[in-house]
Amino acid sequence: MNSSTDTGKTKTAPDDAVLAREAGVAFTPPPAPDPFAAWISLMEAVQALCPVWPVRTTPTQGNNWRL
């Protein structure tokens, strides 16, 4: 025996209700920037912060060089 009053129907907004998705101007994401332009901009910032690479006191040793 089930004493629940839930009929299984979902509640919906009335037809005259203004929903948030219908209000204002529709959202359109900005176009994706050029990845090369973004990379060059980043490299310009790095160059501005460190215009001359520091001199190493000892040479790099080994043959397994990875980033």
The pLDDT tens digits for 6-56 are: 555 566 655 656 566 666 777 777 888 888 998 999 999 988 998 887 787
Dihedral over alpha carbons 50, 53, 55, 56 (to 10 degrees): 100
Q: What is the pTM of this model?
A: 0.36
Phi/psi for 36 (5° steps) reads: -70, -35
Q: In angstroms, how far is the first alpha carbon of the chain from the final one?
A: 68
Q: What is the DSSP letter of 21?
A: G
CA distances from 63 to 3, 46, 54, 66, 67 (A): 76, 27, 22, 9, 13
How many residues make up the chain in this entry? 67
Q: What is the pLDDT of residue 21?
A: 62
